[in-house]
Structure 1
C-alpha cells in the first residue's frame, strides 16, 4: 500500500489582508481537525506549490479565488488528484455547471446512511453556501445528502456535498463550511460582550447580567434539546464532534477509493475507548466537605481534578489531595458578587496565591468560577502566558442548558480571533457537561446515561462537575457513586484533566515515516505516547486472516506505537 499525501492549502499572504481588518479565516481550523484525528498532512501556503509537489489530496482551506487558482486545482484533479473544499471554489462554480444560493447562517444537513455519522439526526450547521446543479455539467456529478433550511425538517435547499468527476480525479465541494461550523459551536461565532438569549421555558435564564461561556452558545433551545424520562432538558447532540467525523470519514473514504491508505492515530491508547473526568470546584472551601469527598473518591477508586478557589484549604487537605493521586488545579474567580473582576493581573494574582498556599509549583488546569467568560480569547491568552496547559471553563451554568451546549466532548485547541492571525492557542480546552446532579435547581441523574452514550459514541470525554460543598447532600453523593458505576459499566476509564492533557499532547507527536510491503507503518514520536493505536485503512482484504475494524466508515487494521 502507498500512503496518500494530503496537503492543506492555506494562503497566509491572502489571509493577511483579512487579518489586517480583524476578519477571521476560521477555514484554517481544518488543520486542527486533522491533527486531532491523528491524520498526517503537509501545509501549503501557495497554490503554485501544487505543481512542484506530488500530492494525492489537496484540502483547499483558504485561498484567493482567481482564475489562476481555479485552473491549477482543475489540472490537479484532471491528473488524478482529489480536491476538497468547504463552501469555497466560487471561481469553479460555472465551469462545474452550478448556480449558487444565498449563504445560510444556520440550518441542518442530513447525511446518507453510508457516511459517518450514519446514526445521527440531521446535523446543525452554522454556515453554508449551497450550490444547485443546473444540468449543464459535462462531467459525472453526485449529490450527497440533503440540506434543510432553518429546521431539521425544513425545506430542501441542495446537498451538503457535491462530488464532480474531473478527468481521472475528483473535485468534492461541501456546501457546509465545516471548519467554521466546528469553531462556531466550540467557541461561538462572536465575542461575548452581552448576555445570551434565555430559554423560552425559563429553564435557562442566562440573561442575569453575568457574562459567561454559555452566553455564546450557538444551539437552538427548541430544536437541539431533548428531555429525559423525568423531564430534564438537555442539549443532546455533539454537533462539532459529528461534523469532524463527517469530514474525516469523507477524506478517508476518498483516499481508500483511490487505492491508497492514510494511517491515523486513535484518540486514546490501547484498551481505552472513551474517558470520564470528574472535577470539583472548591466554592466555599469547606474542609469538612472536602474530607468527605476524599473518602468517597477512595471508596469509588478514582482520581479527580480539584479546582481551587481563593483562599483554598489548609496544608493538611492539600497534602492529602496530592498524596491520594488527585490533581490540584486553579479556579479563577472573576465574579462581581465575590468582588472578583475580569483582568489578567488579577488572574495571575489568584494563581500565584494558589501556588504559594498549595504544595505545587506548576498548575496544569483551570476552570473559571461560575463559568465567567468575556470577549473571545482573553482567558486562553492568560492561561497560555501563565503556563496553564488546559482549561475547563466552557460548560453550562443553568439547569436547562446541560449537555453538549458547545457541540463537543473532545479536548481541542481553540483558535484566536483574526486580529491575532487565527493561530491556535497553546491551551487545551476540555469543557464539562453538567454539575452537581440531584440538587433541586440543577439536573437529576436521568441525564447520565444519554451523556455517557453520546460521549462513548464519539470516543470523547464525559466530564462531570461536583462541588465539594455538596458532599453533605446524600442525593448528590449517591449520584456521584451512580455515575462512576454507570461509566465503568459502559467501558469508560477515569482520568484527571492533567492526564488527558498530557496524553493529547503526546499522541500528536506520533509520525508516520513510511509503510513497508507488509502494510506496517514506520512510526516515531514521544515515548510518552507508547500504547497509541495507529489505524491503517485497507483497500482490499483479499481473504486475509488479518482482523479489521471499521473506523470512520473504512476498514482498518491496527498497529501499536512503541511495540
Structure 2
C-alpha cells in the first residue's frame, strides 16, 4: 500500500514578519495536532518545496500572498496533489472563483456529514474567514457545512469548507482557523492578566481577585454548558478535541479517496481504550487525611498522583505512598494569603523542599494550588527549567465550570507566545475535569457519567481531583469510589500522571515504516514500540476481511506486525 507523504508549509520569512510585529502564528499548531494524532509529516519552510514528486498532501499553515506561492500551490494541485488550508489562501480567492466578506471572531459551525461526532451538531470556533462563491461561478466547487456568527441559530455566514477541483487534484479550504481555535480553547486567546467574566447564575464566581487558569476560558456560559438531571451545570463539549478530530478526519478521507493510505499510531497501547487518573492536592497536610486516602485507594485498587504542598507529610506517610505505587508530585503554592507568591525562585525553592523531604531524585508532575495561573507561558517555562515534564494546573475551580472548560480531555504540548516564535513548551499539559465531587459547594455525582462518556468517545483522559482534606467526608469518599467504579465499567484503565507523560512522549518516537497489502506494518522505535497500535485507513470498498473499525470517521484496519 502506498503511504501518502504530508507536508506542512510554514513560510519562514512570512512567519518572521508576524513575530517581528508581535503577532502570533498559532497556525503552526497544526504540527502538534498531527503529532498527537500519530501522523507523520515533514515541515516545509518555502513554497517551492511543495513538489508533487516529493509530497502528496500540502497543509498550508502559513504562506505569503505572493504570486510565486500561489502558483506553486496551484501547480501542486493540478498535478494531483491535495492542498489544505485553515482560513488562509486569500491571495487565491479570485482565481478560485470566490470573494471574502468580514471575518468572524466567534461562532458555531454545522458540518453535517463531515462532522466526526454527529452527537455534537454545533461546533464552537474562535476565528473564521468565510469565502463566498462569486456570481462568475466556476465549475468544480463544493460547499460543505455552514458557519453561524455568535450563536448556533444565527443566520448563515458562509460555508465551513470549500473544495475546489484543480486539474487532477484539489484545494480544500476551511473557513475556520482550526489550529487557532484549538490553541485558543486550550490556552485562552490571551494571557491571564485580570479576572474573567462570571455567569449570571452565580454558579462560578471567578471574579474573586485571584488570577487563575479559568479566568481565560473561551466557552459560552449558556450555549456551551448543559445541566444534569439534578440541575448541575457543566461544560459538556470538548470542542478543541472535536476540531482536532475534524482536521484529521478530513485529511484521512481525502487521502483514501485518492487511493493512498496514511497510517497513524493509536493514542494508547494495545488493550487500552481510554485512561482515567485520580490526583490529589495535599492542602493542610494532615496525616490522618492522608491515611484515609490511602485506605480508600487500596479499596479501589488504583494508583494515583499525590500533588504535595509545602510543608508536606512526614517520612512515614511518604514511604507508604511510595510503597503503594502512587506518584509523588508537586503542588506549587503562589497564594499570598497562604504564604506563597508568583515567582520562579519561589517555585524552585518549594520544589527543592519537596524533593528533600520526600526523598525524590526527580518530580515529574505539578499542579498549582488554587489553579493559580498568570500571564501566558511563565509556568511552563519554570517547569521546563526545573525538569517538570507534566503540568495539571488547567482545570475548574468552581461548581459551575466543571467539565471541558478548556475544550479538551487529551494531553497536549502548549504553545508559546509570539516573542518565543510560538514554539512548543516541553511540558505536557494534563487538564482535569472536576474537584471533590459531592462536596456540598462543588459539583455532584450526576456530572460523572456524561463526562466519562465524552472522554471515552474521544479516547482521552478522564482526570478527577480529590483532596485528602475532603476524603474524610463519607460523601466525597463514596464519590471517589463511584468514579472508579463507573470508569472501570465503561472500560477505562487507571494510570498516574507519570505513566501518561511517559507513554505520550514515547509513542511520539514511533515511526511507521512499510505497509503491506495484507495490512502488515513495521514500526520503528527504541522503547515499547511493540505496544503501539497502528491504524491503517482504507477506502469503503477495500477488502478488510471483516476487521474494519472506524477511527476519525474513516474505516481503518489494525495493522499486524511484520
Residue 262 (structure 2) pairs with residue 291 (structure 1): no
Q: CA deviation at 1:140?
A: 0.6
Q: Is the 8 A contact 1:96 1:137 kept in 2?
A: no
Q: Which residue does the alignment assign to 2:498? A: 498
In the TM superposition, what whole-angstrom CA distance separates every residue of 1:253-307 from its partner, at most 9, and x where no partner exists? 0000010000001101111111000000000001001000001100100000000
Q: Which residue does the alignment assign to 2:249? A: 249
Q: Which residue does the alignment assign to 2:239? A: 239
Q: Specify the SS of the correspondent of 2:84.
A: strand
Q: CA deviation at 1:512?
A: 1.6
Q: Which residue does the alignment assign to 1:101? A: 101
Q: Is the 8 A contact 1:531 1:560 kept in 2?
A: no
Long gaps (5+) in structure 2:
none
Q: Is the 8 A contact 1:277 1:464 kept in 2?
A: yes
Tell me the distance in 1 between the aligned counterparts of 2:271 and 2:560.
11
**More deviation, 525-534/307-316:** 525-534
Q: CA deviation at 1:199?
A: 1.1
Q: Which residue does the alignment assign to 1:68? A: 68
Q: Which residue does the alignment assign to 1:351? A: 351
Return the TM-score normalized by structure 2. Answer: 0.98
Q: Which residue does the alignment assign to 1:115? A: 115
Tell me the distance in 2 between the aligned counterparts of 1:103 and 1:124.
15
Tell me the distance in 2 between the aligned counterparts of 1:13 and 1:113.
38
In the TM superposition, what whole-angstrom CA distance separates every residue of 1:376-433 from its partner, at most 9, and x where no partner exists? 0000000011110000000001111010000000000000000001000000000000
Q: Which residue does the alignment assign to 1:158? A: 158
RMSD of equivalent CA atoms: 1.2
Q: Which residue does the alignment assign to 2:467? A: 467
**More deviation, 475-484/45-54:** 45-54
Q: Is the 8 A contact 2:520 2:560 kept in 1?
A: no
Q: Is the 8 A contact 2:140 2:165 kept in 1?
A: yes
Residue 372 (structure 2) pairs with residue 368 (structure 1): no
Q: Is the 8 A contact 1:80 1:167 kept in 2?
A: yes
Q: Give the alignment of 1:103-502 within 5 angstroms.
A: 103-502=103-502
Q: CA deviation at 1:528?
A: 2.6
Q: Specify the SS of the correspondent of 1:527.
A: coil
Q: Specify the SS of the correspondent of 2:535.
A: strand
Q: Specify the SS of the correspondent of 1:523.
A: strand
**More deviation, 528-537/235-244:** 528-537
Return the TM-score normalized by structure 1. Answer: 0.98
Q: CA deviation at 1:53?
A: 4.9
Long gaps (5+) in structure 1:
none
Aligned positions, number: 562
Tell me the distance in 2 between the aligned counterparts of 1:526 and 1:65.
42
Q: 1:53 to 1:45 in 2, by over 3 A?
A: farther
Q: Is the 8 A contact 1:532 1:560 kept in 2?
A: no
Tell me the distance in 2 between the aligned counterparts of 1:543 and 1:28.
37
Q: CA deviation at 1:66?
A: 1.4
In the TM superposition, what whole-angstrom CA distance separates every residue of 1:310-355 from its partner, at most 9, and x where no partner exists? 0000001000101100000000000121121111000000000000
Q: 1:543 to 1:389 in 2, by over 3 A?
A: closer
In the TM superposition, what whole-angstrom CA distance separates every residue of 1:70-102 from its partner, at most 9, and x where no partner exists? 111011001100000000001110111111121
Tell me the distance in 2 between the aligned counterparts of 1:48 and 1:306.
51
Q: CA deviation at 1:526?
A: 2.8
In the TM superposition, what whole-angstrom CA distance separates every residue of 1:422-451 from its partner, at most 9, and x where no partner exists? 000000000000000111110010100111
Q: Is the 8 A contact 1:503 1:529 kept in 2?
A: no
Tell me the distance in 1 between the aligned counterparts of 2:508 and 2:157.
38
Q: CA deviation at 1:560?
A: 5.5
Q: Specify the SS of the correspondent of 2:278.
A: strand
Q: Specify the SS of the correspondent of 1:462.
A: strand
